[in-house]
Amino acid sequence: MKRRVFILALAFSMQQACAPVAVARQADALRSAHPYAPYVTDAARRFDIPEAWIWAVMRVESNGDVRAISSAGAMGLMQIMPATWASLRARHRLGHDPYDPRDNIMAGAAYLRAMWDRYGNVAAMLAAYNAGPGRMDDYMSRGRSLPAETHAYLAKLAPIIGGASDPQLRAPAPPDPFAWHRAALFTARAGDSPTAMETTPVRTDAGRPANNLFVPLSRQRQP
């Protein structure tokens, strides 16, 4: 099982190798007011995960479309499946509307935290968010291949899962308004190899995008 996690992490780290490290120095300069920022902050604090994880998943899942619905029925900003929504809503006392931005973000953050607690590995957490923990467990224990869609999903997120960034370094915002999603937002545990994907959550809102972050893109099935 550990070998399969390593293989997944290695593939993920190869994707991220091309991400420009300099962008990490610009993350703070990209912070700005955003309609969902208070909800992301609240969710990150409640579930003790980085805000950057929420922003990144939101962008890839729905591109900021609060009414997004996938062909499989996943709903809202964080693309929560109906059964998952029902469970999370009951457990965390959320509202009745799965498309409500605050509650949808809260549910997505809760699910990310659950997957983090289950795997303790960012690549595995994100793969499970997309394909489901059952499929991820099959991959880890029996070598069942992950869906091509999940590999594509990880490839989209790979640029944001970079190496450690120096919080003391600051630079003006680049002209690219989407450069925030290529910033290195996760730091490895001490003693891990440079390619290891097992990381410790770091509370930060450095991944917060500007108001005009989200643009239309084609939808894939999201969990």
Taking the C-alpha atoms of residue 94 and residue 86, their distance in angstroms, rounded to an integer, is 9
Phi, psi dihedral angles at 179 (to 5 degrees) = -65, -20
d(CA 48, CA 151) in angstroms, rounded, equals: 26
In CATH, what class is 31-161?
Answer: mainly alpha
pLDDT tens, the chain, 223 aa long: 666 665 665 566 555 555 444 444 444 334 457 899 999 999 999 999 999 999 999 999 999 999 999 999 999 999 999 999 999 999 999 999 999 999 999 999 999 999 999 999 888 999 999 999 999 999 988 888 899 999 999 888 877 655 333 232 122 233 344 444 444 444 444 444 333 344 455 444 445 554 444 544 444 444 5
The answer to whether 207 and 160 have CB atoms below 8 angstroms apart is: yes
Contact 181, 32 (CB under 8 A): no
Structure token pair of residue 192: 């891990």
User: 117, 210 in Cβ contact below 8 A?
Assistant: no
From 210, 160, 202, select the one nearest 181 (Cα to Cα): 160
**206 close to 31: Cβ distance less than 8 angstroms:** yes
CA separation for the pair 171, 179 (Å, rounded): 13
Q: Based on the number of CB atoms within 10 Å of its own CB, is 37 exposed (0-12), middle (13-18) or buried (19 or more)?
A: middle
Residue 1 amino acid letter? M
pLDDT of residue 142: 87
Structure tokens at 153: 């999903």
Kindly state the tokens that stand for 78: 């964080």
Per DSSP, the residues of 25-52 read GGTGGG----TTHHHHHHHHHHHT--HH
Give me the residue label for tokens 């509202």: 95
Q: Indicate which residues carry an active-site annotation.
A: 61
Domain boundaries, the chain: 31-161
The identity of residue 131, as a single letter, is: A
Q: In angstroms, how far is CA 16 from the centroid of its own chain?
A: 14
Q: State the residue for tokens 């699910």.
A: 111
Dist. CA 36–CA 39, nearest whole Å: 5
The answer to whether the CB of 89 falls within 8 A of the CB of 99 is: no
